[in-house]
Amino acid sequence: MARPGSAEAKPARSVPAFAWVGGSAIGLAAVVLLIWLVWPSAPGPAPTARLIPPAPSPVTPLATARPAAPSASPPATRSISSAPAAAPATVAGFVIRTATRRQILDDQPDRLAVFRYAANPAILVLDFPSLDEQGLMFDRVAALVEKAGLPRERVVSWVHLRAAIAAHGDTIGTYYYGNDYSAAALARFFALAAADHRTLNPQEQRLRALLDGLGWLRPGAQAGLITLPREGANRYVTRTARDVILTHELSHGEFFSSPAYAAFVRRFWRVALSGAQRDAMRRFLAGEEYDTTRHTLVVNEMQAYLMFTRNPAFFSPADIGMTVAERARLQRAFAAEMPAGWLRDRLVALNARPNGGNPDRPAAARAIPAHPPATPAAAASQPAGTSR
């Protein structure tokens, strides 16, 4: 068949006009349809870049899963002094108030006062009107938990403890100037006392009632309790000394209530201190009659003395054969790496003092003797009928 326009093409037959028009329209529609089917579609608009990265998958490995943070506002950073004070709570007859470090320091109790520390409510602070009342409530706890030469697996009788205290030249009131214990250690004391059928004195009974009311005697409580005596409890407890005791003990409270801080302190002991420095710290603590076979006790006291006890009446770098410059360097390193929070802020403030707040003195020049002389009142402070 010849192509259109060729010489051999035959004359075309005539076609009715309506048929020609209809056929042309159908053909044109088919062509348009074919082109629409095969022609590549025009690209749509490019996706907008995300300004906020997508949230991570909610599936978290079990070993690292943490409870979700509350969806409310982030934690407040204001101190209690600039925020409305929380209403006091009453537990087992104790009125528990929330207070800042300064408010606790300024307190002058004429009876036992109980505070929740504003910067960390998991720290409970017991402020005593006298050293003797403090000792009657906590000396047997100290004997069980930390005092060298006394049993770790049973609660001693008051007869036994009074003899041990006197043998070391101490009194019930001067056995410790401040105390610090975890909720777990306190729960263990009362469990062992019950197992040993030890009669609790009235102060110990009040402590048990308080802890029971707070839920601290149940397994899993993560909290710390600290104590201190009021200013003027004896001639050694000046306002300056009370400030030192409070700062020292609050650092223990953080250790007991913050697993992250406790883990950091253990790592600092292992990595930042030399073997000689660790040995020197153990010797110092042994001289203060701590049980240095208890590793957690040793590292906890290390951070409290080395980092936060800046008064040479209680501790000096000379006590562990360290120079002021060496101690200041360790204090700066500790502050740079420790978890953020109120205790880090406190350490930074201490480090900002002239010479890091580290006055030096000969180790023999302790202003507060390790064993202050007994007073008649302290010697007679153990009431009859409370020992067994």
67 pLDDT higher than 60 = no
Confidence of residue 108 (pLDDT cuts 50, 70, 90): very high
Please check whether residue 231 is in contact with residue 108, taking contact to mean a CB–CB distance below 8 angstroms: yes
pLDDT greater at residue 174 or residue 6: 174
User: H or E stretch including 131?
Assistant: helix 131-145
Write down the pLDDT at residue 359: 64
Q: Which two tokens stand for residue 110?
A: 């004429």
DSSP 8-class letter at 318 = G
The one-character DSSP state at 307 is I
Strands 179-182 and 224-229: antiparallel
Whether pLDDT at 186 is above 50: yes
Share of the chain above pLDDT 90, in %: 68
DSSP E strand stretches across 132-259: 179-182, 224-229
* Residue 210 structure tokens: 């308080």
pLDDT at site 6:
38
Provide the pLDDT confidence category of residue 355 given band limits of 50, 70 and 90: confident
Q: What is residue 353's DSSP assignment?
A: S
Contact yes or no for 138/155 (Cβ under 8 A): no
Closest CA to 245 of 131, 114, 75: 131
Q: Where are the domains of the chain?
A: 81-243, 258-370
When pLDDT is cut at 50, 70 and 90, the band that residue 14 belongs to is very low
- Is the predicted pLDDT of residue 104 greater than 50, yes or no? yes
Check pLDDT > 50 for residue 344.
Answer: yes
Q: Average the pLDDT over each of 165-169, 178-182, 260-264, 343-347 and give the range with the smallest value.
A: 165-169
Q: Could you tell me the two tokens for 201?
A: 């004195």
pLDDT bin (cut points 50, 70, 90) of residue 103 is very high
DSSP character for 147? Answer: B
Instruction: Give 43 or 198, the one with higher predicted confidence.
Output: 198
Q: Is the pLDDT of residue 227 over 60?
A: yes
